[in-house]
């Protein structure tokens, strides 16, 4: 009954999505307002129907209705309710339903807001084309409510690697980000269709773009944290194809957020901004194709399925159609102004964009190369981590160098006096920092990378302090009052600075964990100890215990750092009755300077166990930087005075 209700809701939603497309098209041609209103109501109906379908699946998961194939495939009766519900996005069918539900809710909010009345019907058409595709897939290709011939007594259970809070947050936030980028894309295409090439669509969709970027940021960070604590290999990012799939639209989305500021303030980069949002949107579809095609091996992918050809066809169609539309309107997108100098804030934004696109291209090439090599030579040649690190690390450092330069450089054309005045303090402080680092004996690459991070941080703080001092001189306010009012009344600018500081902290974590990490494999007998750098680790016990229906084999190790006793750490392996392979549960002692990371790799009947002992410096700063980034984004988004879209619009009002 519930399954039938869910499937019926999807079928009706599919029919309504076609109605919205046709009704809006006819209404636009005939200028029929009643038909437009009817189509708007249909969008609300799709939101309601996909909500009903989602609730039907959630209910079926919660009560373990194994007559539904999806519930049988991804849950079992022993799962906590929390993980039963998170199985919503554990498989292809459920994740498609989550996707279309998010899309339907977003679409309902957009048509309800109706910010640009002339554009709204076209925006609804474009969003509903996407919704219709996903609903078609669920209605006719991969039904989440497909029934089995009989109801098994027990399900196959949830993949153990997905039984982690990180895997609850990561997929949802990633989807919220992916689908969110559809909104600025839809508005940009609507503008081109209507031949209105001003920047009104940027003003209307800026908040949506930032929200999508925020969710994708959280998705990437939570995915990295999940990999760190759950996958048991000691790292947080492996340039896995599916990791890359969510990283690439984040990069182009970041480029878009920066370049639209140039269009807002200088009426430049119109074509570039259209192209960036097309690329970002298509990359979200491409990521979906990668996850569901089965053509690449990944711990995140949904395995082999025949969905890939549908997603590939839709992705290529979307790319071709949007590029054709952009090229057809090129004559209307001519730039009204040109760059006056390479040494200017505008140019630094453009270089920032080029570097972000360079990282995107390198990541894309490394991701698809195995597919291309197999297609051309018949042999799949895998591109491994060293390629990505070798190409993207210098580009990443160049990006952070630009992050430091941009706040200090003037608009239009920077004079030598301007450069001397603004750069002297941060560059001088960075030189001192680099000298101290060299004297301390740091590795050359670490000196270079940490110095760039320090410069970006110093430049950001220096520019903020200059603003506070200037305000204090003008108003006579006390320093804390001047600082508070400056930040709150310029939330967009200083929210961006806070985001930069968060990203710099993430960079510090990456540099530390890649240049000073230690990995020691060690076999120990009971009672033996090992010393790794400052840590003394004594192997006390190996035992087994029941955790629900699962069996856990765990080791107990006493740990000291110098003379300080840190306690007992318990790395373990968990064996599941519903899955053939055990999962690795690592033990982590996390500090602000470094993480001690213990993995129970193996054991034998003679009482000898093999451990991997890792010391990962500064990793905690990555997670702290992530939270700072999230705070900065919310600070910039918070409505009210100071969150305006740019100087041009302030002047207009």
Nearest to 205 by CA among 177, 241, 181: 181
User: pLDDT for 68-91, tens place per residue?
Assistant: 999 999 998 888 898 899 999 888
> Is residue 381 included in any domain, yes or no?
no
499 and 529 part of one domain: no
pLDDT tens-place string over residues 190-231: 999 998 877 888 888 888 999 999 999 999 999 999 899 888
Question: Is 187 a member of any domain?
Answer: no
Confirm whether 586 is domain-assigned.
yes
Res 300: pLDDT: 56
- Tokens representing 454 are 């320090």
Q: For 143, phi and psi rounded to 5 degrees?
A: -80, 120
Q: Say how far apart CA 299 and CA 160 lie, in whole Å.
A: 12
Q: 520 - beta bridge partners?
A: 613
- Same-domain check for residues 509 and 393: yes
pLDDT the model gives residue 649: 40
Two tokens at 281? 């949107």
Residue among 175, 143, 131 nearest 13 (CA): 131
pLDDT of residue 382: 78
Q: DSSP labels for 222-262?
A: HHHHHHHHHS-SS-S----HHHHHHHHHHHHHHHHHHHHHH
The verdict on 437 and 449 lying in the same domain is yes
Is there a single domain that holds both residue 439 and residue 552?
A: no
Are 390 and 509 in a shared domain?
yes
Residue 599 belongs to a domain = yes
Same structural domain, 548 and 486: no
Instruction: For residues 269 and 263, give the distance between their C-alpha atoms in angstroms, rounded to a whole number.
Output: 6
Number of domains in the chain: 2
Q: What confidence score (pLDDT) does residue 348 get?
A: 87
Which residue ranges in the chain fall short of pLDDT 50?
645-653
Average pLDDT of the chain?
90
Question: Which of 486, 514, 542 is a domain's end point?
Answer: 514
Burial class (CB in 10 A: 0-12, 13-18, 19+), 503: buried
DSSP 458-498: HHHHHHHHHHHHHHHHHH---HHHHHHHHHHHTHHHHHHHH
> Does the residue 545 lie in any domain?
yes
Q: Do 490 and 396 lie in a common domain?
A: yes
DSSP designation for 615: E
**Cβ(166)–Cβ(222) below 8 Å:** yes
Closest CA to 278 of 234, 324, 240, 247: 324
Range of the domain at 503: 386-514
**Are 488 and 549 within one domain?**
no
Contact 26, 46 (CB under 8 A): no
Domain shared by 491 and 544, yes or no: no
Share of residues in the chain with pLDDT > 70 (%)? 95
Within a domain: residue 51?
no
Q: Which residue has the tokens 């809701």?
A: 9
User: Is the separation of the CB atoms in 594 and 583 below 8 Å?
Assistant: no
The answer to whether residues 542 and 479 belong to one domain is no
Q: In the listed set 467, 494, 514, which residue is the last one of a domain according to the structure?
A: 514
Helices 92-113 and 2-30: crossing angle in degrees, nearest 10, is: 40
Residue 572 lies in a domain: yes
Q: What does the pLDDT read at residue 534?
A: 94
Q: What are phi and psi of 92, to 5 degrees?
A: -55, -50
User: Is 495 found in the same domain as 396?
Assistant: yes
In a domain, 35, yes or no: no
The string of pLDDT tens digits covering residues 252-298 is 999 999 998 888 877 778 889 999 999 999 999 988 888 776 666 55
Q: Both 464 and 447 in a single domain?
A: yes
Burial class of residue 344 (count of CB atoms within 10 Å of its CB; 0-12, 13-18, 19+): middle
Final residue in a domain of this structure, among 514, 544, 569: 514
How far the first Cα of the chain sits from its last, in Å, is 55
């Amino acid at each position: 009954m519930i399954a039938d209700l869910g499937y019926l809701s999807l079928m009706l939603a599919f029919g309504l999505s076609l109605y919205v497309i046709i009704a809006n098209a006819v209404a636009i041609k005939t200028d029929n307002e009643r038909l437009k209103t009817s189509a708007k109501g249909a969008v609300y109906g799709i939101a309601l129907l996909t909500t009903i379908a989602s609730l039907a699946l959630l209910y079926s998961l919660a009560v373990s209705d194994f007559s539904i194939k999806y519930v049988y495939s991804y849950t079992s009766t022993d799962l906590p309710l929390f993980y039963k519900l998170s199985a919503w996005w554990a498989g292809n069918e459920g994740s498609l339903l989550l996707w279309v539900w998010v899309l339907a809710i977003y679409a309902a909010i957009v048509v309800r807001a109706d910010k640009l009345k002339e554009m709204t019907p076209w925006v609804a058409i474009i969003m509903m084309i996407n919704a219709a595709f996903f609903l078609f897939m669920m209605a006719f290709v991969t039904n989440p409510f497909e029934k089995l011939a009989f109801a098994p007594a027990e399900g196959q259970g949830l993949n153990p690697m997905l039984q982690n809070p990180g895997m609850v947050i990561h997929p949802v936030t990633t989807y919220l980000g992916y689908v969110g980028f559809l909104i600025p894309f839809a508005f940009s295409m609507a503008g081109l269709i209507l031949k209105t090439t001003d920047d009104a669509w940027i003003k209307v969709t800026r908040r949506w773009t930032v929200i999508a970027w925020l969710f994708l940021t959280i998705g990437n960070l939570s995915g990295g944290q999940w990999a760190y604590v759950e996958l048991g290999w000691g790292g947080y990012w492996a340039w896995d194809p599916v990791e890359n799939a969510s990283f690439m639209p984040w990069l182009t989305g970041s480029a878009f957020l920066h370049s639209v500021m140039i269009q807002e303030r200088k009426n430049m980069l119109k074509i570039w901004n259209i192209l960036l949002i097309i690329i970002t949107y298509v990359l979200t579809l491409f990521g979906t194709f990668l996850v569901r095609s089965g053509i690449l091996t990944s711990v995140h992918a949904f395995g082999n399925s025949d969905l890939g050809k549908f997603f590939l066809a839709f992705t290529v169609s979307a790319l071709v159609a949007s590029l054709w539309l952009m090229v057809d309107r090129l004559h209307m997108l001519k730039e009204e102004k040109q760059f006056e100098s390479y040494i200017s804030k505008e140019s630094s934004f453009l270089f920032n964009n080029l570097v972000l696109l360079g990282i995107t291209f390198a990541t894309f090439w490394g991701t698809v190369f195995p597919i291309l090599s197999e297609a051309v030579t018949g042999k799949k040649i895998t591109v491994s981590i060293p390629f990505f690190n070798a190409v993207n690390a210098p580009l990443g450092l160049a990006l952070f160098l630009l992050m430091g330069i941009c706040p200090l450089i003037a608009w239009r054309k920077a004079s030598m006096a301007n450069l001397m005045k603004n750069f002297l303090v941060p560059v001088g402080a960075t030189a001192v920092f680099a000298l101290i680092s060299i004297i301390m004996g740091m590795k050359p690459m670490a000196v270079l990378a940490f110095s760039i991070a320090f410069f970006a941080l110093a430049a950001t703080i220096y520019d903020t302090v200059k603003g506070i001092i200037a305000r204090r001189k003008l108003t006579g306010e006390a320093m804390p009052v001047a600082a508070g009012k400056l930040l709150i009344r310029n939330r967009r600018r200083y929210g961006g600075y806070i985001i930069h500081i968060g990203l710099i902290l993430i960079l510090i974590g990456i540099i530390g964990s890649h240049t000073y990490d230690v990995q020691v494999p060690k076999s120990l007998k009971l009672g033996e100890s090992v010393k790794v750098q400052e840590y003394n680790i004594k192997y006390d016990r190996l035992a087994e215990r029941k955790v629900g229906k699962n069996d856990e084999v765990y080791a107990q190790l006493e740990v000291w750092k110098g003379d300080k006793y840190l306690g007992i750490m318990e790395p373990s392996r968990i064996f599941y009755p519903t899955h053939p392979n055990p999962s690795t549960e690592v033990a982590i002692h996390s500090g602000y300077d470094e993480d001690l990371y213990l993995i129970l790799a193996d054991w034998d009947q003679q009482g000898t166990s093999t451990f991997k002992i890792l010391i990962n410096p500064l990793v905690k700063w990555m997670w702290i930087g992530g939270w700072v980034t999230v705070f900065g984004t919310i600070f910039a988004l918070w409505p009210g005075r100071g969150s305006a879209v740019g100087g041009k619009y302030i002047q207009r009002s």
